[in-house]
Structure 1
């Protein structure tokens, strides 16, 4: 049976689309700038009553074809489409609740071999499960963190706002990944506790969490202001690890010949001398 989370997600995606974006007239009085329910139903080829029941979380079970139609109508990206499917299923996905916190020994060896590349392993809610010395030297001493979680670090450690040059972008990206984790395992007590703590502690987290954005592991660039090395521009790669539910290996590298590459080389020398 569709959940309250699915209903909220559908509403949030509907509200963000302007009618003219999907070829509909923007005229007439609207309570909000987004699409009306009937317009989403029209675009998806389903009845307005059926869509209304979906948004109300009432007893309907959308088929894969309906979910695909909604994903097209609401312009969902691949991560959002996957999230919609997870929220719509009638039973929880099978998860290895005990094993998903353990990192495969082969991955741990890989982290050690990446002695000049900052790298760590995260789970879906961005707990840092394993890391190498370079990533600790780049970001923070993970072993000393009160809560070893990157979202918690972003909102609860004052150093994060100066460390991440584009702090808001990074924080909202992390929230979108955390939202995806709630779709993978809606009843996870640790994820729920993290969301509740951050909701209580941070007005910014509350506001951005309500946007219902969703994102999975990705590739991109982040800017850091390192306390010893200064400004760093690093490319990151997040790779979902085979045989796991949600673990991802994240690595950071710099463009060849760039000042950031020289700074990473300097960091590697400092780590090697410890």
Structure 2
């Protein structure tokens, strides 16, 4: 059992063990002093950063990390992707990580005691995702109320689930989902596999599977804007390197990677 699970945290060990064990492996301290993340040709410190990130950042962050690592030799960025509410639970249980990026400010605000000052690095919007070719002819939010349509949504405690509820409530639309998923990628997967006819996901998630799903735009006046704040974790063993990575996410280079993937300016 990891050493950080002591005192009151030990009581939650059984529930969180499945999440914490893989994180402990990727966040293991290499025993070397962290002198920060230098540019290419600079620091030779072998720093392993663990970043907890919202599921909707899966594809773009992998691309961003490849660029970052080339510029910051000696730094390796590892990610643990999950729904923001799951990430918050990991942080509260003392997961060995260095930085956190959520898909909403509400989740981040609830972790003020555990993080540095957050910075919003991107925005996103919702779309209706359907099977390729939109076989059920879903064109508006109102179409999701059809009882013959199998709609899948994220659970209400998940950021994309809250955004979806906000959008539907604003239009006074009642949608009964066939399932409520733990993160946005699970919603996308249900539609990709044909287990659901439609769902609400972020625009960038639909764009990650262009040959498997179609995206139906939601008018801006009916839509919700998702904010992605990033922050260092106070328990990080690599504070300087973690701060450097979080700061880099706001640079023009990182912003171009995010916006090329469909994310909007912060």
TM-score range, shorter-chain basis? under 0.3
Greater C-alpha radius of gyration? 1
TM-score (norm 1): 0.20
Q: Which of the two has greater helix per residue?
A: 1
- TM-score, normalization by structure 2: 0.20
Higher strand share: 2
Query: More relative contact order in 1 or in 2 (CA 8 Å, sep 6+)?
Result: 2
